[in-house]
Chains A and B, each alone.
Chain A
């Protein structure tokens, strides 16, 4: 039986631009269940990174703040608990794998030191015990000759290796939830698949859930059980992965799927056209009334513009934020 692990309830976040505060996330709600890998997809600027940073309270304090909603974890609202309690949650119950591996490790300390830190902080291990565990962890993430590398500095590691170290750091205390913020974006294509597999396998071994943030539908297809799509600070669709790929219910999702480059299939006579979405995502503060995707939507009608569109729950268990959701039959991956 699956239960809700983390529940984000109508989260709103605003960011400071000059002297005004503009909304970057508007009433986003999503749930992560035990043992699942949930994908959070969207373009740059859609609000997905801000959403996941809000979970652990890692937003840059001076410029970005939560202005509404709640993030519930184990009967507590993470946006309202005391800082000391939040520090206890971070790294132990909920951990994060950051985006740019090389920049995310402190260049002044050895990898062993940084890895051991998490263990000594949350599990009160001695230096020697932490070192032992660190070696095992580095081994688990596939770093060869792990024992010898504890005394190396981050600049001795390649981008992919740094990412493995960060994965090790995230898994060190066996958290229930791992937030992976675009873990493969900064890496070579050849390495991306390995890293994804690593995350997926290790999470499964430990029974942890993963919130996988990405802009790449290919990554989603590879690794996720369920998907949440974000656009212009709002969640526009939420569904299990196969139904979503078969029949997306929001025009934006459909365009994202179409835009994923792929090879010509045997039954096709011509190479697939490289689809792209014309126009660009509106910036915070320049949203009109009505659907935020309207300017770029091929199925736009006047009634899409006159009121805020709500996220509609659909009979199959998914959700979509589209005025015409019941009229449209969008093409997904056939077969």
Chain B
């Protein structure tokens, strides 16, 4: 991947890298304990000792936000990776071998469009139960079709290429052909899709956690923090600003990245 020299891309990557860094370094940063609350000082507005104020249980919001970065980013990334792995596999196989398998896969992908994604995720969480791990699974489940479609499309577009026929003629085994010739070529569109999907995955996790169905206490993601904050809208309206901004910035950066990569690919 060559460097994309647009300012929007550099800024987005910078922001995301910063967030990832904060997430990784959280335990060694000089932050207040995110789980320890001082009920005497609950719902404080920003001050010198608590830069973003405190929440319902008197916990420092800034440190909670930074720790929540880990969960929000991990769930989003995790869901995308799982969906990517599964989707790319199915899509590649469907595109390469065609036939009945392909028809079934395509048909399933199309039918997926009829499901409202969030509702499907909610239903899955209803069946499996709530929690962070199940959330990753539910979100991955609703994103698989995207990756199937992208992978399949890319494979089908290149299936007729001469080098594939050449490899077949010299008797190369199928798995080798796929690994050596097909996969590198579908990498680009898949990665673009991954960047775009990451943004939506983040929104999805935030929505589910907001509703209380995703990440459960004591763990916290930006979404669940937003959900808590919505309960306190009368007493401490500032609480909901921070998680909302964080989510918006993150999603915006993912989208910018994805779109920049897509434009680059088209050029």
- Within the complex, are A and B direct neighbours (CB within 8 Å)? no
